[in-house]
Chain A
Amino acid sequence: MQVQEDAVSSAEEQDKWLADAMALVQHNAFYMHRAVDASNLRDALKYSAQMLSELRTSKLSPQKYYELYMRTFDELRQLETFFKEETKRGRTNADLYELVQHSGNILPRLYLLITVGSVYIKSQEAPAKDILKDLVEMSRGVQQPIRGLFLRSYLSQISRDKLPDVGSPYEGEGGNVMDAVEFVLQNFTEMNKLWVRMQHQGPAREKEKREKERSELRDLVGKNLHVLSQLDGVDLEMYKDVVLPRVLEQIVNCKDEIAQYYLMDCIIQVFPDDFHLQTLETLLSACPQLQPTVDIKTVMSQLMERLSRYAAASPEVLPEFLQVEAFTKFSHAVVEVIEAQPDMALVGAVSLYVALLTFVLRVHVDRLDYVDQVLGGCVKKLEGKGKVKDVKATKQLVALLSAPLEKYKDVVTILKLSNYGKVMEHLDYDTNRVMAVVLMQSILANNTLITAPEKVDGLFDLLKELIQDSEGAPSIDELDEEDFKEEQNLVARLVHMLVNDDNEQMFQILIAARKQFGQGGPKRLPFTLPPLVFAALKLVRSLQNEDLPDDGPVSLKKVFQFLHQTVEALSVVPAPELALRLYLQCAEAAGVCNLEPVAYEFFTQAFMIYEEEIADSKAQVTALQLIIGTLQRTRVFGVENRDTLTHKATGYSAKLLKKPDQCRAVYACSHLFWVEEGSGVKDGERVLLCLKRALRIANAAQQMSSATRGSNGPMTLFVEILNKYLYYFEKGNTQVTSTIIQGLLELIVTEIQSENTTQDMQVDAFLANTLRYIQFQKHKGDSVAERYSDIKVPS
């Protein structure tokens, strides 16, 4: 609170001081104007000097001082005009130049001297270079930083259009561009010295304030560099031989953090791109010499950024980049800078690499080796550091890893970077996962196909945090379940990106993937293995039509072995339902491939799972339905095997817990004996047996219902069974006769109409539809209709 008050009151004081000074300037300026109007040189000098004396204050902050300076600056412009007129009236410039030096105080004296100097140069009565040299030399007299900076800034501003640059009217007798450069450089050097000196004056506790003030003044210094860059005569040669070395010398020697950072940045911003390109070595060699606390990474990033933009804007300069070995120089510089600044935070080093990588990606897109080199450099830096804990550094690492991904949009390319994975290893667990997700999303978004087994290994190496538990990772239970699922789903989707037209290769890929996934643990397997199974089944389909020897690198048999192992792994997890489904899928595929023993084995496995692992009755129902469906479609089995399997299935059906379930399973089993397509089994008798049994069970269900609730349950099951009857009737199962159907129909109708039965709209509708169907068939007028004619639909 106290501090704040102080700050406020001092701000008020500042305003007051400034107002006072302004008033005095105004006052003296008024008399100066009067003297100017009266062409009274003596008075004009007197009042202008008094006016300028206000600039001798030490009380004002740089900002306020600047306001005061600007005010007097305007007045000095008028005085300059007046001096010009004076020379027309016959007073020589040399005279004036001496006259103003009679002023007793140095600051007003020098302001006046510079003002006259400007007129003097313009008159070309004396060589510009001599006057400039004198001015810049005399300005040494002001050693107070703020006053000196503004004075020299005035000099710089006044002399800007009067330098003996190439093509300027002051060239020739007035000197050459070398003199101009010399002048600006000297002024720059002195200004920088003053600026740096500010840092060391005043009490230490005001350091922050001082730094703030200094940064307000930095443009005064930087402007000199801008002037240099504007000189037409400064060509590459001169820049290289004179300007840059001198400026760098000053920057390095001033040993001031703020100045070094700002001025390096200035150089990078004001001079043209091709200059930088041709002097990279010099410029970069200065970087490691800067103070260890300088934010050199930003500086270098700026430079790289600038050059890469240059390369992007004008591709024709690319050969030059190669010629000067821009990349090599940059990467050396990065290493050196990191070495020179041992205190640099890791984030700094990494962001340097990010900048370098960005540069490479923009300028040398085709040079993967460069990219890898950059990553390698970073790995070296990270070596022995283990996982990076620093959040900022991690962020930079992610940027480093994301950059090539964004650029190439192709993970296959990334996989060629041997150091990519090594960098990733240094990410902490969470970030690594995020990165892996990004990688996968990139693959999916860009539809990148991974076509080689070794790529698969490489890829999964990058993703290993996702597909297996690595050391130090938190246990899976701690992970957010949703995230985990999301990630694993991505991994699953990724499997479909592993594609190779060559079967042999494809198989290798699958094996590789399987190997990787195998280490994922029970939580992951249910996500990762199914897609693998389906991929293998896909392979099976493409192998089906090829006649391959069993002992070849890839064969149906081998693929099925692979499938078997894979699914087995799932059943061990345990994920019985999933394993069951997959076994059935495999069995079906094996059936299609005419591999009876294989198919049988798969069924056996499925059945075993059913028996041993699936206890939940609902799950049992579903599982059984799946088994029945698959078995029905699998036609590879001989009579014996088939009997065994169907028998088993039927047996299971009858053992289901709930009667309705039993009933439905049993009538579903009837399909196992009646395969419509091809030369399938058509065992009408056993079909009927199944249906009858279903009826019995339905009946029992009704009775149970009536016994427990006092009313019969809905007639759903009966109607369903009726439909089954009708199906077989239509398909020509001779065992199913119209009489049986008629009987069942009447039974149903009677039951529904009986009072004891619970009414159910759905059942009624179902029945009505069924009846309507029968009517429809009757009136169709084909062979089926004939058979239907015996059935009478009860009204």
Chain B
Amino acid sequence: MKTSSDGIYGWMKSGLGAFVAEPCLGYGGEELCPRRLGAFCSPAPDEADFCGVSELQSCVWNCCYGRFCIVVAEFKMNYLYGAFGSPCTVSIDFVDAETRKQASVKKENGQTVLVPLFLGQDSVVGEVRIDPVPGKKVEHTGVKIELLGQIELYFDRGNFYDFTSLVRELDVPGEILERKTYPFEFSTVEMQYESYNGVNVRLRYILKVTISRSYATNIVEYKDFWVRNYSPQPEINNSIKMEVGIEDCLHIEFEYSKSKYHLKDVIVGKIYFLLVRIKIKHMELEIRRRESTGSGPNTYNESETLAKYEIMDGAPVRGESIPIRLFLSPYDLTPTYRNINNKFSVKYYLNLVLVDEEDRRYFKQQEITMYRAE
């Protein structure tokens, strides 16, 4: 075994996968989370979600939102100005608000809010209500509602790429003296991308009502909603099977039953030890998410570990096979996104990590495809 300082301790013979070992420190930013793993912590609406990783995730999120706050402030200023000086209140409601499903979404302050949930082909129907402040009238040059699908990137903040933009004119220029409601409908809207809140990118859908005024600033009101798309069961779903190791040190064969998993799926598999000459302390399975934004030289990759799941305690001997069963439901996963609008990708990896008694880590990462099943 080489002991070179770059932390790579050797490579497998040709034909086999390589196994990378690296010192524990400086690995993937897990040091951020001071909490011991394995505790059930971090409240979440879904009570199944009692994995220690949630907390870890929220740490990451918090710091990410730090980067977004400038954008957020801009929104707020607009809104406040409108509310304060605005001569009317504008509200947007969906017709089926009572019955429609809602998605729980983490907001920038870490709290979760419930947001109406739509599927890709749903019709977005509702009404806009404008209540002028009593005694005031609202003069306008027209009222319109837009349905926007936007992608925001961290390194290009403030700029939204609208990949979907639909407009309905609600009113011709005139003035509003009393409450006025405008029904609107976007029928069978093509919303091919899912809403997504990432580290460096977010994809969102909004309804935007604009009361255009000639002198004063326009009065603008937003309504967020969430979009999810179901994928069909994949036709081909092979198992992942591989023999990896470090020559004369460790040979293992692992197998995950599938390569494609839906979000509430279970990862089943096993690890078979062919040769063990190092003193293994434990073994864990990690679920990692890699978010890539931009393209070419401006590509940013952000990896986070969503789950750490211990699957073996102690040192096995040759011939031992260790079962894997990992329920995905507790983790806040999304489907795999590949090259969304040429702006970003989100990929998932299973990382098998063996830790030896000197805390060296040996790992092998395999991509898995996540999809949303109905």
Contact = CB atoms under 8 A, between A and B. Distances in A.
B312 A106 contact: yes
Interface in A706-763: none
B48 A144 contact: no
Nearest to B270: A140
26 contacts: A41-B47, A42-B50, A46-B41, A53-B38, A53-B39, A98-B327, A101-B325, A102-B40, A102-B50, A103-B51, A104-B37, A104-B51, A104-B52, A105-B37, A106-B312, A107-B313, A137-B323, A140-B321, A140-B323, A141-B310, A142-B312, A143-B315, A143-B316, A144-B313, A144-B314, A144-B315
B313 A143 contact: yes
Nearest to A144: B314
Given A101-B327, A102-B51, A140-B322, A147 B313 contact: yes
Given A138-B325, A140-B320, A102 B330 contact: yes
A101 B267 CA distance: 12
A147 B314 CA distance: 9
Contact of B310 (A41, A105, A148): A105
B309 interface: yes
Interface string B317-359: 1001111010101100000000000000000000000000000
A49 B313 contact: no
Interface in B1-57: 36-41, 47-48, 50-53
Contacts of A143: 312-317, 320, 322
Of B51, B307, B316, B325, the most chain A CB neighbours within 10 A belong to: B325
A143 B327 CA distance: 22
Interface string A46-76: 1001100100100000000000000000000
Nearest to A142: B313
A108 interface: yes
* 3 closest A-B pairs by CB: A144-B314, A105-B38, A46-B40
Given A143-B313, A145-B314, A147-B313, A103 B321 contact: no
Contacts, number: 90
B317 to A, nearest CB: 6
Contacts of B282: 106
A109 B327 CA distance: 13
A362 to B, nearest CB: 44
Contacts of A99: 48
A103 B52 CA distance: 8
A45 B40 contact: yes
Contacts of B321: 140
A104 B38 contact: yes
A496 interface: no
A197 interface: yes
Interface of A: 41-42, 45-46, 49-50, 53, 56, 98-99, 101-109, 137-138, 140-145, 147-148, 193, 197, 201
A106 B315 contact: no
Contacts of B53: 104
B311 interface: yes
Nearest to B331: A102
B314 A148 contact: yes
Given A98-B327, A102-B48, A56 B313 contact: yes
B38 A141 contact: no
Given A49-B40, A141-B322, A104 B313 contact: no
A627 to B, nearest CB: 95
Contact of B50 (A45, A105, A141, A148): A45
B308 interface: yes
Contacts of B322: 140-141, 143
Contact of B38 (A103, A137, A145, A193): A103
B41 to A, nearest CB: 7
Contacts of B36: 53
B40 A103 contact: yes
A407 B327 CA distance: 70
Interface string B136-175: 0000000000000000000000000000000000000000
A197 B317 CA distance: 9
Contacts of B311: 106, 141
Contacts of B309: 104
Nearest to B312: A141
Contacts of A140: 320-323
A98 B329 CA distance: 10
Interface of B: 36-41, 47-48, 50-53, 282, 307-317, 320-323, 325, 327, 329-330
Contacts of B39: 46, 49-50, 53, 104
Nearest to B330: A102
Of A46, A103, A138, A145, the most chain B CB neighbours within 10 A belong to: A103
Nearest to B324: A141
Given A104-B37, A106-B312, A46 B50 contact: yes
A101 B309 CA distance: 10
A197 to B, nearest CB: 6
A105 B308 CA distance: 9
Nearest to A99: B48
A556 to B, nearest CB: 89
A98 B47 CA distance: 12
A102 B49 CA distance: 8
A93 to B, nearest CB: 15
A143 B273 CA distance: 12
B268 to A, nearest CB: 11
Nearest to A139: B323
A60 to B, nearest CB: 15
A106 B39 CA distance: 12
B48 A141 contact: no
A106 B313 contact: yes
Contacts of A144: 313-315
Contacts of A142: 312-314
Nearest to A146: B314
A104 B314 contact: no
Contacts of A201: 315
Contacts of A108: 38
A138 B323 contact: yes
B310 A106 contact: yes
A105 B310 CA distance: 5
Nearest to A41: B47
A107 to B, nearest CB: 6
Contacts of B312: 106, 141-143
Nearest to A49: B40
Given A46-B40, A49-B39, A104-B39, 6 more contacts: A49-B38, A102-B40, A102-B330, A142-B312, A142-B314, A143-B312
A145 B52 CA distance: 26
Nearest to A110: B313
Of B36, B39, B308, B327, the most chain A CB neighbours within 10 A belong to: B39
A41 B47 CA distance: 9
A104 B308 contact: yes
A147 B315 CA distance: 12
A143 B314 CA distance: 5
A199 to B, nearest CB: 12
Of A45, A49, A105, the most chain B CB neighbours within 10 A belong to: A105
A466 to B, nearest CB: 61
Of A99, A140, A148, the most chain B CB neighbours within 10 A belong to: A140
A195 to B, nearest CB: 13
B333 to A, nearest CB: 14
A636 B327 CA distance: 122
A138 B313 CA distance: 12
Contacts of A137: 323
Nearest to B311: A141
A56 B37 CA distance: 13
A138 B320 CA distance: 13
A116 to B, nearest CB: 14
A374 B41 CA distance: 71
B265 to A, nearest CB: 12
Of B47, B307, B314, B320, the most chain A CB neighbours within 10 A belong to: B314
Nearest to B40: A46
Contacts of A106: 282, 310-313
Contacts of A56: 313
Nearest to A108: B38
